[in-house]
Structure 1
Amino acid sequence: MRASGWAAWIAGLALMCAALPAPAAHAVYAGRIGGSDITFVIESRNAVQRAVYFYDRYRTPIRLKPAFLHQSRDFGIDELDAAGMPVARLRFDVASFHRSAPRLTGTWTDYRSGRSLPLVLELVAYLDSDGAWPAGRHPLLQAASTERFYFRVPMARDHAAVEAIEVVDKATGRARQTLALPQPGCNRGMETVQVVLERGLTQLRMEQTAHCPGALFEWDPAAERFEDRLR
């Protein structure tokens, strides 16, 4: 192969590698902020942390602002309100979101009042490209929700193809439906399921691309359930 051919091949390989998603891992925790039970999920990718959590009493996902993990101690990540504005800070004494640190401690501080509460998290599950700990499928909380429902995507390893979406009732914490996808879809972690209001009806969407078949489910008020609109 000529030098110019080698250069073109290397450049093409570099572009292909750049297009591939970077390795990521998801850690799922159960814990408490003050006296309130919470469920907390954090994604680690290229030293960037993205997280979502909810209070188990209300089960409405709360987004956190992506943060660059430049140090393992005294690491903070901002909680966002519905408008995307920082309203509180979750600070971790030691930020090791891995199986090697099954228990995390820190504080939650409200920006408006300055009130701080203790934060404690216990690792429930860990998913990366090698598989899941403990072994099996674990529901990954989605950041998007509706007034009545929140959503989970069962995963056996990080960013495996999505085969189903679980619809969970916020009021009871019980699964309302399991939506089987006609074709396995691309996994985008906590942002896999998007909620859209279309013609006054709630839709659940998974992005369709050249490599992802996508999915579309719409709420049927008469049947009181989500129906597949791509079949």
Structure 2
Amino acid sequence: MRFTWLMMIFLCISVPGIVRAQAAFSGLVGTAPIELVLGYYEPESEAGGVYAYTKYHTPIALSGTLKAGVLTLTEKDALGKPSATLTVPAFAVNHGALTGTWKNLATGRELPLKLNQRFIMESGESVSWEKRELMQASSLPTIYFRLVTTKSAADTYPRVRGVKLLDKKTDRLLQEFSVNCQLLGLNNVDVDDYNFDGLADFSVYEAGSAGPNTTSLYFLYNPTTKRYAKSSFSGTSLEFDHKKKHIYERSSSAAGSYVTTATYEVVRNRMVLVAKHCYVLDPERHKLVERKLSACE
């Protein structure tokens, strides 16, 4: 599917604060078409997201504020230095059209910003909609990602029902995977080398549970087919050590009374258990103490 909009911003719902708005816009920066999906929060009135030019489809992260009706978003260069701003002086999420300015901070060059609303990401009971697509902040050199999101009346919040891999140059759909994940926002997709073969893979945030526990789905690149496939990798809050080529898992109880850890190595694209440990909170010493595995079961 080919999109005519060019810029997209979506603020991750995990940012502290109360979500006041998440909405998508399309329009122009100068003469370049854009798409914008914007979020802002209270009480800090933080705002942010990611945008990309359709010609390149490379996501650019944004952060900023919404104060007294003035929306200011800043993008940074590869060194983390602010490089440009997008400003809308009279912002309101329910406006059908928005106008403002894009400014290059190095040269001072300014371009007009013109946007029209495409959709709002509504939540709550009795609200339903289908197949609204959100570009992700992470991308590969030649591929970018879009989530396919759906909100059913039975769910309080939107769900991620699919992930699309698209070619940056042509916007051609390369692969699509069906998933059923919580909507984290612009950071649902992450890129890393999960099987330590020197090639980039990607993951999709699946869910968060008790305490700090999270799970993700892992998709590995096959250099022979030049395609990605869902792996059997699974576990809680996995971390990947590229130097030792180990995968570490950590799972905590909701109250933090016990923690289990595990170490895996990768053999033929499968996780193989190397070691597993159990730690239980000692109330007198106020720290976790290693116990038999049965104590954590």
SS at 1:156 equivalent: strand
Aligned pair in 2 of structure 1 residues 136, 150: CA closer, same or farther (>3 Å)? Answer: same
Q: 99, 102, 106: which one pairs with 1:112? A: 106
For 2:135, the equivalent position in structure 1 comes to 141
Aligned-residue Cα RMSD (Å) equals: 2.6
2:40 is aligned to 44
Q: Mind listing any 5+ residue stretches in structure 1 that lack a counterpart?
A: 1-19
Distance of 2:79 and 2:186 partners within structure 1: 19
Does the 8 Å contact 1:142/1:193 carry over to 2? Answer: yes
Indicate the residue corresponding to 2:178 in structure 1: 180
How far apart in 2 are the matches of 1:132 and 1:121? 29
1:181-224 C-alpha deviation (Å, 9 max, x unpaired): 3xx22221111111113431112113466525421011212112
Of 218, 224, 227, 1:225 maps to 227
TM-score by length of 1: 0.79
Supply the distance in 2 between the matched residues of 1:210 and 1:33 (Cα, whole angstroms). Answer: 37
1:90 is aligned to 2:86: yes
1:216 corresponds to which residue? 218
SS in structure 2 opposite 1:190? coil
**Deviation above 3 Å: which 4+ runs of structure 1?**
20-25, 130-135, 207-210
Q: Which residue of 2 aligns with 1:15?
A: none
Deviations 1:34-53 (A, max 9, x none): 11112222223333212211
* SS of alignment partner, residue 84 of structure 2: strand
Q: How far apart, in 2, do the equivalents of 1:132 and 1:161 lie?
A: 15
Percent identity at matched positions?
A: 27
Contact 2:166 2:172 in 1 (8 A): yes
Q: Summarize deviations over 1:60-104 as a string: whole Å, max 9, x none.
A: 111112x2322203x3111122333210010102122x2x21211
Equivalent position to 1:72, from 69, 73, 82: 69
Whose relative contact order is higher, 1 or 2, with alpha carbons under 8 Å and at least 6 apart?
A: 1
State whether residues 36 and 55 of structure 1, in contact with CA within 8 Å, keep that contact through their aligned partners in structure 2.
yes
Where does structure 2 lack aligned partners over 5 or more consecutive residues?
1-15, 234-297
> Cα 1:130–1:119, aligned 2, differ >3 Å: closer, same or farther?
same
How far residue 23 of structure 1 moved from its aligned partner, in angstroms, is 4.1
**Number of residue pairs the alignment of both structures matches:** 206
Judging changes above 3 Å, is the alpha-carbon distance between structure 1 residues 141 and 77 closer, same or farther for their aligned structure 2 residues?
same
Q: Which amino acid aligns with 1:86?
A: P
The 1:222–1:131 alpha-carbon spacing in structure 2 relative to 1, beyond 3 Å, is farther
Instruction: Kindly state the Cα deviation for residue 156 of structure 1 after the two structures are TM-superposed.
Output: 2.2
Counterparts of 1:24 and 1:218 in 2: how far apart (Å)?
37
Partner of 1:9: none
